[in-house]
Amino acid sequence: MVELIQNFTAGEADLMNADKIPDIIIGRLPVYLRALQRLSAKGIQTTSSQELGEIVGISAAQIRKDISQFGEFGKQGTGYSIPFLIERLKDILKVDRVWEVVIVGMGDMGHALARYNGFANRGFIIKMLFDNDPKKVGQKVGEFEILDLNTMAEKIKQNKIKIAMLTVPAAAAQEVAEQLVKAGVKAILNYAPTSISVPAGVRVQHIDPATHLQRMTYYLE
Amino acid sequence: MVELIQNFTAGEADLMNADKIPDIIIGRLPVYLRALQRLSAKGIQTTSSQELGEIVGISAAQIRKDISQFGEFGKQGTGYSIPFLIERLKDILKVDRVWEVVIVGMGDMGHALARYNGFANRGFIIKMLFDNDPKKVGQKVGEFEILDLNTMAEKIKQNKIKIAMLTVPAAAAQEVAEQLVKAGVKAILNYAPTSISVPAGVRVQHIDPATHLQRMTYYLE
């Protein structure tokens, strides 16, 4: 009964960041954090690399190795303190603060993300929604009013927002991504069904259902 | 101007499938396939591990190593034949056929996926949509009529459907996942903001925006 919670990684031990922590390890940390937060929500205080491994579908040896990159977190045989490890992972991943996020493109996907209730206590808060459709601008989605795309660059700069979720049609994705980058955005979660090019120093994660499905068909009969 | 198209992997070289191809490599193949199909769409016939690496954000050495797991695909110095590599990857990933997929939960996310135009030539076709809300059942989304959740198990069995996208609220996710598994589904793309437990032999990929965002905040200033 193991769920393979699978992580989204750049896939490369040799893609190093400035601190020389391999990108592939950074990619697994949010998966560990999510599992630990769920254990914590059940009132559980300690865990082992074995238990964590069974939850996330990663070997205990790999988990110990990954976590040891950031210091000593548990003694042999006593397991990890969940609250301590959560705090440390939140600190490492810089989600010990709350990042403001904008959503650009208020179609079905934009609405779904604006209403998504999985961001709480994860380090993110939706701050603004944008669309270029005059019929949508001014409408409300929950507590948010949809703002005019023409005002986006200015508002992102004013609020020093660094993160955007891009949910525009494929044909508009590259142009909007460039506007986001120009306004100071450094991380884009791209839901548009196309790839986007960004300058060095800007991160993109592409959420592509077909790629994620192809990840599983290999194992089907 | 390199986009880090990042792959969704189980993260483990030691999670082996029956054929002993590491799961982590299988996780990168859909990312290579997507990049190759985009090059092919531009009329490009050959590529190198360097060029492919720049597109997907994975080292050339890793790409050569991954691809060599499945046989000889290119000669030193002449690069890879794109059409040949595409065919081979589609074959390996079993997307040289078309898999029928159901969507369960016709909220914003279900609608977004039902209308998603990124599945063409990727190995998947949406076959049926389900919801349990009497107001939604019978409504049309594009060419599809939303069907009653009560008929789901029977219809999935009849059509021998193996893949589902789960877009129900968190509170319903585990119960619906169990119904899907009982009806024969072997692969679930889980968009619900919760983890689900499935028996061995069933694959789950969790699309969790917060986890994907946390993957990037590490790199932000």
* Closest by Cβ to A218, choosing from B56, B94, B211: B94
Bridge partner list, B145: B140
Decide if B209 contacts B185 (C-beta within 8 A): no
Nearest to B156 by CA among B187, B113, B198: B187
Residue A169 tokens, joined:
């049609």
How many beta carbons lie within 10 A of that of residue B104, not counting itself?
Answer: 29
- For residue B101, give the 3-state DSSP assignment: strand
Separation between Cα atoms, residue B136 and residue B114, nearest integer Å: 14
Decide if A198 contacts A181 (C-beta within 8 A): yes
- The pTM (predicted TM-score) of the whole model is 0.85
Question: What is the tens place of the pLDDT at every residue in B31-83?
Answer: 999 999 999 999 999 999 999 988 887 889 989 999 888 777 666 667 889 99
Q: A218, B26: Cβ pair inside 8 Å?
A: yes
Does B78 contact A at CB distance below 8 Å?
no
Separation between Cα atoms, residue B5 and residue B55, nearest integer Å: 7
Does A88 contact B at CB distance below 8 Å?
no
Q: At what angle do helices B23-41 and B82-92 cross, to 10 degrees?
A: 140
Q: At what angle do helices A60-68 and A23-41 cross, to 10 degrees?
A: 110
What backbone torsions phi and psi does residue A61 show, to the nearest 5 degrees?
A: -60, -40
- What is the number of alpha carbons within 13 Å of residue A20 lying toward its C-beta? 1
Distance, in angstroms, between B72 CA and closest chain A CA?
20
Pairing mode of beta strands B124-131, B144-148: parallel
Decide if A52 contacts A32 (C-beta within 8 A): yes
Does A206 contact B at CB distance below 8 Å?
yes
Average pLDDT for residues B174-189, to the nearest whole number?
Answer: 98
Does A5 contact B at CB distance below 8 Å?
yes
Question: What is the tens place of the pLDDT at every residue in A88-139?
Answer: 999 999 999 999 999 999 999 999 999 998 898 899 999 999 999 999 999 9
- Which of B218, B220, B221 has the highest number of chain A CBs within 10 A, making it the mutation to test binding with A? B218
* Closest by Cβ to B205, choosing from A62, A118, A212: A212
How many beta carbons lie within 10 A of that of residue A183, not counting itself?
Answer: 20
Burial of B194 (0-12, 13-18, 19+ CB in 10 A): middle
- For residue A111, give the 3-state DSSP assignment: helix
Distance, in angstroms, between A12 CA and closest chain B CA?
6
Which residues, numbered 132 to 161 in chain B, qualify as contacts with chain A under a Cβ-Cβ cut-off of 8 Å?
none
Bridge partner list, A12: none
pLDDT of residue B208: 92
Does B4 contact A at CB distance below 8 Å?
yes
Q: B94, A203: Cβ pair inside 8 Å?
A: no
CA A32 to chain centre: 13
| Residue numbers in A near B141 (CB within 8 A) | none
Q: Do the interacting molecules here have an ipTM over 0.90? A: no
* Closest by Cβ to B124, choosing from A193, A213, A218: A213
- In the numeric block, the tokens 């506007």 are attached to A179
Decide if B214 contacts A93 (C-beta within 8 A): yes
Question: Cα separations (Å) of B162 from A116, A219, B196?
Answer: 27, 11, 17
| Residue numbers in A near B95 (CB within 8 A) | 214, 217
Residue A212 tokens, joined:
């994620």
- In the numeric block, the tokens 């003694």 are attached to A75
Question: What is the tens place of the pLDDT at every residue in A19-68?
Answer: 567 888 898 999 999 999 999 999 999 999 999 988 887 889 989 999 88
Decide if A8 contacts B211 (C-beta within 8 A): yes
| Residue numbers in A near B122 (CB within 8 A) | 210-211, 213-214
Average pLDDT for residues A174-178, to the nearest whole number?
Answer: 97
Decide if A59 contacts B14 (C-beta within 8 A): yes
Separation between Cα atoms, residue A11 and residue A24, nearest integer Å: 5
Does B40 contact A at CB distance below 8 Å?
no
